[in-house]
């Protein structure tokens, strides 16, 4: 077998199979000057920008039709030739996957689905309609629903309003807000106050409140206090991490909204604004006027971060944004109804599904393998470029996110598989896309329950996905 070089793996990962599956123009999503729009915007706006909450709408009609399936151009990456699912003998794919799915490490509960994204045809299925606990693969459903409800260009505001000398920091649900973004808001607020002080002749001195009324219900996830998730509030900085440099499970604030407001007060003081009282919780006054705001990155960028990093806080925030867009309360129950409604509107098989949360930490969640592959197939449709960041946000096997350490350069599928992982005690799942040896883009979902070993289940799931690429 030829040595697989890093540049070859990167090339395979970058392709994502999108161009090979249905044509470069059709599946690459919105591009501008040779670069995907979401990436261009994110690079250009490292600091929070001004503007409205929505950018220009999606491109109009006249998108190109899907191109024919590409020939087998991936043999240089180590894949075998002439044995793709479309060329295999009847039952060959079934036999290979059935043998791998029978691994004892996957436990007694197993479900699988493999589909061709270009045609929607199911190539393999075992109990594909059975609802199972998906763990973090539910984030695929959460992000598809958010994009369908809001569009890829939606941005989430964090604002400051003023009524006399009373300022209110209003949380809009941006879980991606950082200290740098909050400082930008403080600078803009101080500038506006100085302008007002020049007109009135008074030095800036304010009382500060913070408003978290956008969300309803409990702020605590059913799992309780946990390093994987901060209390769910519409106002937080650095997803509630006490140390913003940490990754993965970490010490979280018990009061992320109050901590954000206190941090903001200190930043105002740094800008020469005297905070005479507060911060204290409270709604913005009815006669308040907008004073300053910052906006999150576009939703497409937040979706990519949610999936690549398996960010639980962002997932819960996106579920609540979906609820708000659908006229539901921004709560766990309201989010569940909204996500289900959005997916049903996409004509996806939601019977038996349960969206108890947006992150997958709740064991009451239920998804089928068929629903997961259906979600990915929808995101690959040429007519739905607004969903494309679901595919581009999936971790790349051996290179990014939660799949970076699970594949080596010699592991089948490294650089060709993009997939969302899911792990809870006794639960393992893997769902994503893979470039088959004939160039087609396949969507897959493998779920396992009552597993005995996390590592054993992960290895067995990785072998299933790798079999589709080799």
51: pLDDT confidence band, cut at 50, 70 and 90?
very low
In the predicted model, what is the mean pLDDT of residues 252-270? Answer: 95
In this structure, the answer to whether residues 226 and 277 fall within a common structural domain is yes
In this structure, the answer to whether residues 104 and 253 fall within a common structural domain is no
**Best-predicted range by mean pLDDT among 8-22, 153-167, 213-227?**
153-167
In this structure, the answer to whether residues 329 and 434 fall within a common structural domain is yes
Q: What is the CATH number of the domain that holds 243?
A: 3.50.80.20
In this structure, the answer to whether residues 100 and 162 fall within a common structural domain is no
Tokens coding 193: 């106050």
Domain-ending residue, one of 261, 276, 295 = 295
Residue matched to tokens 């509030």 = 233
In this structure, the answer to whether residues 291 and 392 fall within a common structural domain is no
In this structure, the answer to whether residues 82 and 114 fall within a common structural domain is yes
pLDDT mean across residues, the chain: 84
Separation of alpha carbons 394 and 417, rounded Å: 9
What is the pTM assigned to this prediction?
Answer: 0.82
Q: What is the CATH number of the domain that holds 417?
A: 3.40.710.10
Does the residue 116 lie in any domain?
A: yes
In this structure, the answer to whether residues 463 and 327 fall within a common structural domain is yes
Does the residue 1 lie in any domain?
A: no
DSSP per position, 30-78: SEETTEEHHHHHHHHTSSPP-S-S--S----S-PPPPPPPPP---GGGT
Does the residue 30 lie in any domain?
A: yes
Q: Which residues are catalytic?
A: 136, 139, 310
HSE-CB at 428 with a 13 A cutoff on CA atoms is 26
In this structure, the answer to whether residues 356 and 223 fall within a common structural domain is no
Residue matched to tokens 């650089």 = 415
Question: Count of domains in the chain?
Answer: 2
Angular region, 262: left φ>0, alpha ψ -120 to 50, beta rest: alpha
222: pLDDT confidence band, cut at 50, 70 and 90?
confident
* Strand runs labelled E in 182-248: 205-211
Predicted pLDDT at 202: 60
Domain-ending residue, one of 295, 325, 353 = 295
In this structure, the answer to whether residues 463 and 342 fall within a common structural domain is yes
Predicted confidence (pLDDT) per residue in 414-460, tens digit: 999 999 999 999 999 999 999 998 899 999 999 999 999 999 999 99
Buried b (16+ CB within 10 A) or exposed e, 8-26: bbeebbebbbbbbbbbeeb
Q: 306: part of which helix (H) or strand (E)?
A: helix 299-309
Task: Please measure the distance between the N-terminal and C-terminal CA atoms of the chain and give it in whole angstroms.
Answer: 12
List the domain range (segments joined by +) for residue 235.
157-295
In this structure, the answer to whether residues 161 and 29 fall within a common structural domain is no
Domain-ending residue, one of 295, 330, 356 = 295
């Amino acid at each position: 077998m030829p040595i697989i070089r890093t540049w070859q793996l990167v090339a395979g990962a970058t392709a994502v199979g999108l161009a090979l599956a249905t044509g470069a123009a059709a599946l690459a999503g919105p591009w501008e000057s040779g670069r995907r729009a979401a990436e261009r915007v994110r690079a250009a706006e490292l600091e929070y920008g001004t503007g409205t909450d929505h950018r220009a709408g999606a491109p109009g009609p006249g998108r190109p039709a899907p191109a024919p399936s590409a020939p087998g151009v991936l043999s240089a990456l180590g894949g075998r030739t002439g044995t793709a699912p479309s060329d295999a003998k009847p039952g060959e794919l079934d036999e290979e996957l059935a043998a791998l799915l029978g691994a004892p490490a996957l436990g007694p509960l197993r479900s699988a689905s493999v589909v061709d994204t270009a045609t929607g045809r199911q190539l393999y299925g075992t109990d594909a309609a059975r609802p199972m606990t998906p763990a973090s693969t539910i984030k695929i459903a959460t992000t598809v629903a958010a994009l369908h409800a809001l569009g890829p260009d939606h941005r989430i505001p964090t604002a400051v309003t003023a009524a006399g000398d009373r300022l209110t920091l209003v949380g809009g649900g941006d879980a991606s807000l950082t200290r740098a973004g909050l400082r930008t808001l403080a600078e803009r607020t101080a500038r506006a106050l100085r302008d007002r002080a020049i007109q009135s002749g008074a030095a800036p001195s304010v009382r500060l409140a913070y408003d978290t009324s956008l969300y309803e219900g409990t702020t605590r996830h059913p799992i309780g206090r946990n390093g994987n998730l901060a209390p769910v509030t519409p106002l937080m900085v650095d997803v509630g991490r006490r140390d913003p440099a940490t990754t993965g499970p970490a010490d979280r604030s018990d009061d992320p909204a109050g901590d954000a407001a206190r941090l903001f007060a200190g930043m105002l003081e740094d800008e020469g604004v005297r905070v005479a009282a507060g911060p204290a919780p409270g709604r913005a006054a009815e006669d308040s006027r907008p004073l300053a705001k910052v906006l999150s990155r576009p939703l497409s960028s937040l979706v990519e971060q949610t999936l690549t990093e398996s960010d639980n806080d962002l997932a819960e925030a996106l579920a609540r944004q979906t609820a708000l867009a659908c006229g539901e309360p921004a709560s766990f129950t309201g989010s569940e109804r909204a996500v289900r409604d959005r997916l049903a509107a996409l004509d996806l098989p939601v019977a038996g599904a349960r969206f108890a949360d947006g992150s997958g930490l709740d064991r009451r969640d239920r998804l089928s393998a068929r629903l997961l592959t259906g979600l990915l197939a929808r995101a690959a449709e040429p007519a739905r470029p607004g969903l494309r960041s679901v595919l581009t946000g999936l971790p790349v096997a051996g290179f990014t996110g939660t799949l970076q350490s699970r594949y080596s350069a010699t592991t089948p599928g490294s650089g060709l598989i993009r997939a969302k992982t899911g792990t809870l005690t006794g639960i393992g799942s893997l769902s994503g896309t893979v470039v088959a040896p004939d160039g087609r883009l396949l969507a897959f979902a493998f779920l396992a329950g009552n597993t005995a070993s996390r590592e054993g289940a992960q290895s067995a799931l990785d072998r299933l996905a790798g079999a589709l690429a080799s």
